[in-house]
A = this chain, B = another copy of it.
Amino acid sequence: MAKEFRPKARRPRGFQDRRGAQLAAERALVAKIAAVYEAWGFEGLETSAFEYADCLGKFLPDQDRPNEGVFALEDDDQQWMALRYDLTAPLARFVAENFDALPKPYRRWAAGPVWRNEKPGPGRFREFWQCDADTVGAASPAADAEMIAVACAGLEAAGLKAGQYRININTRRLLNGVLASIGADDPAKRLSVLRAIDKLDRLGVDGVRLLLGKGRRDESGDFTRGAELSEADAERVLAFVTAGRGSREETLSALSAVAANADTEAGLAELGAIDEALGALGIGAAQARFDPGIVRGLEYYTGPVFEAELIGSPDEEENVIRYGSVGGGGRYDDLVARFTGQLVPATGFSIGVSRLAAALQALGEQQADGPVVILALDQTRMGAYLAMAQELRAAGVRAEVYLGQSGMKAQMKYADRRGAPIAVIEGEDEVKKGVVTLKDLKLGAALAKAIEGNEAWRKGRPAQIEAPRAELAAAVKRMLAEGGALAPSN
């Protein structure tokens, strides 16, 4: 016989496998945010993973060649298809295709993976989840305000507390007004200025000042050419982008002093209307503020833009730790018009699920317990073990029987690896006495940790009790409650 081909088992480059507690946390996050979106009247939509390449367009951040940055292939009818790179482009296609059949405004939420064909790097994956809400067909600033408010509600449902996050708001119209006021009409110059502004968080005012002027040399010696604004123009831009204040009202009044032309007037009116609607929705200064330094990369934004920022607790030196953006959005009035020519105003917000989950974990979310594990010490009594598991499940306790062939020690190790709070043992002795032994593995682990490095703990037995077989479920539930173990949800 020919030598068998054995492929090497390997995950594709730049992709992730997620399992257990990490995956459960992300899924729970999506479920909580989706419940908020539903409560706010958004309707679920799941479009296909593929779109025709011409429908997707070329709105991917920092990509200006078609098919650049996406996973594309040719279908057998010679049409190019690509996997979606976000949930907004498919929404625009869906609305254009089904315009007459949809209620207008069309409020939809969506959650799912998106794919980007980029060079993988640490923490930079080619597949990740987004969870979006959008309102298509509403030009009102109230719709933008609602996006901000529903994002706040979603982040809070996900477990963030007041003061742990903030939505920063700006509008493209204000940026356009400031660019007009310094005569930056040339697209290349506009782009240099916007890129410089976008680095405010990372480089501070002095760094941005250099990038607005001649340019900046970084620590490694690399030189970035600047936008070559005059000193006065650079200061005007800086005064604008640093006009953010504690409350939205204060920022609006600071901004009105900076530049005055048709665009800035329109921008300020827009932000004023958003502020009013946010007030009606109960969104205070701590949750959402105006920040003229927010740019947002995607080219399709036409008006207000939003960015959700996570804020950690102050450390010992009272420095606030920033985790960066966990979501964003804005108004994109031209995206449906790309297909139909008809202007359809739209606004939306996208929460980056994986990033938010990672941040929540860093903020100290609790690890969920595994199931109760029933050891299988005697293969001829398998039926009795299976029946025990059914009893526990019927009582609302997650449970399983060890189904391998190994001995006691390996089975206990298995229970540990599963994060089991309790191991149920019914050996020969227990059968004779009509009891089961319940080992409290969480207590055992805690004891082991408390006396870490001290061999004495080996002599002490981890907490365990005997319970009459007939009272198995009740005894397990009692031990789970006493041990402070998380009650299983079903």
One of A13-21, A177-185, A321-329, A469-477 at the interface: A13-21
Is the CB–CB distance between B73 and A46 below 8 Å? no
One of A166-174, A272-280, A425-433 at the interface: A272-280
Q: Is A163 an interface residue (CB 8 A)?
A: no
Our pick among B43, B75, B398 for the contact of A20 (Cβ within 8 Å) is B43
Question: Which of the listed residues A20, A48, A81, A153 has the most CB atoms from chain B within 10 Å of its own CB?
Answer: A48
Cα A387 to Cα B19 in complex, Å, equals 41
Our pick among B38, B46, B281, B490 for the contact of A386 (Cβ within 8 Å) is B281
Q: How far is the CB of A21 from chain B (nearest CB, A)?
A: 9
Is the CB–CB distance between B279 and A383 below 8 Å? yes
Cα A54 to Cα B373 in complex, Å, equals 36
Q: Is A35 an interface residue (CB 8 A)?
A: yes
What residue in chain B is nearest A139 (Cβ atoms)?
A: B405
Q: Is A330 an interface residue (CB 8 A)?
A: no
Of residues 370 to 395 in A, which have CB atoms within 8 Å of B's CB atoms?
370-371, 373, 379, 382-384, 386-387, 389-390, 393
Q: Is A116 an interface residue (CB 8 A)?
A: no
Is the CB–CB distance between B390 and A48 below 8 Å? no
Would you give the 0/1 interface string for A224-254, flagging 1 where the beta carbon is closer than 8 Å to chain B? 0000000000000000000000000000000
Of residues 36 to 92 in A, which have CB atoms within 8 Å of B's CB atoms?
38-52, 54-55, 57, 71-73, 75-77, 79, 81, 83, 92
Q: In the assembled complex, which residues on chain B have CB atoms less than 8 Å from the CB atom of A77? A: 13
Is the CB–CB distance between B103 and A142 below 8 Å? no
Is the CB–CB distance between A404 and B105 below 8 Å? yes
Is the CB–CB distance between B142 and A386 below 8 Å? yes
One of A298-306, A333-341, A441-449 at the interface: A333-341
Is the CB–CB distance between B382 and A280 below 8 Å? yes
Q: Is A10 an interface residue (CB 8 A)?
A: yes
Of residues 390 to 426 in A, which have CB atoms within 8 Å of B's CB atoms?
390, 393, 398-405, 414, 417-418
Our pick among B94, B279, B386 for the contact of A146 (Cβ within 8 Å) is B386
Is the CB–CB distance between A280 and B384 below 8 Å? yes
Known contacts A108-B19, A339-B9: does B103 contact A403 (CB below 8 Å)? no
Known contacts A105-B404, A382-B277: does B75 contact A13 (CB below 8 Å)? yes
Known contacts A7-B55, A41-B373, A339-B7: does B280 contact A48 (CB below 8 Å)? no
Q: How far is the CB of A114 from chain B (nearest CB, A)?
A: 10
Cα A280 to Cα B376 in complex, Å, equals 14
Is the CB–CB distance between B45 and A18 below 8 Å? yes
Known contacts A55-B9, A398-B38, A414-B104: does B44 contact A17 (CB below 8 Å)? no
Cα A404 to Cα B103 in complex, Å, equals 10
Cα A104 to Cα B389 in complex, Å, equals 18
Q: In the assembled complex, which residues on chain B have CB atoms less than 8 Å from the CB atom of A488? A: 39
Q: Is A193 an interface residue (CB 8 A)?
A: no
Is the CB–CB distance between B138 and A12 below 8 Å? no
Q: Is A140 an interface residue (CB 8 A)?
A: yes
Q: Is A11 an interface residue (CB 8 A)?
A: yes
Q: Is A461 an interface residue (CB 8 A)?
A: no
Cα A153 to Cα B386 in complex, Å, equals 14
Q: How far is the CB of A84 from chain B (nearest CB, A)?
A: 11
Would you give the 0/1 interface string for A89-125, flagging 1 where the beta carbon is closer than 8 Å to chain B? 0001110111000011101100001010100000000
Would you give the 0/1 interface string for A294-332, flagging 1 where the beta carbon is closer than 8 Å to chain B? 000000000000000000000000000000000000000
Q: Is A31 an interface residue (CB 8 A)?
A: yes
Q: In the assembled complex, which residues on chain B have CB atoms less than 8 Å from the CB atom of A339? A: 6-9
Cα A403 to Cα B276 in complex, Å, equals 15
3 closest A-B pairs (Cβ-Cβ)? Answer: A41-B400, A15-B48, A280-B383
Q: Using A13-B79, A139-B405 as known contacts, list a sample of 18 further A-B pairs with CB atoms less than 8 Å apart, ordered by residue number in A.
A: A6-B338, A6-B339, A10-B55, A12-B48, A12-B75, A12-B81, A17-B47, A39-B399, A41-B370, A41-B373, A49-B83, A49-B113, A76-B117, A103-B417, A107-B400, A107-B403, A138-B403, A281-B387
Binding site for B on A (CB under 8 A): 5-13, 15-20, 23-24, 27, 31, 35, 38-52, 54-55, 57, 71-73, 75-77, 79, 81, 83, 92-94, 96-98, 103-105, 107-108, 113, 115, 117, 127, 135, 137-140, 142-143, 145-146, 153, 276-277, 279-282, 338-341, 370-371, 373, 379, 382-384, 386-387, 389-390, 393, 398-405, 414, 417-418, 488-490
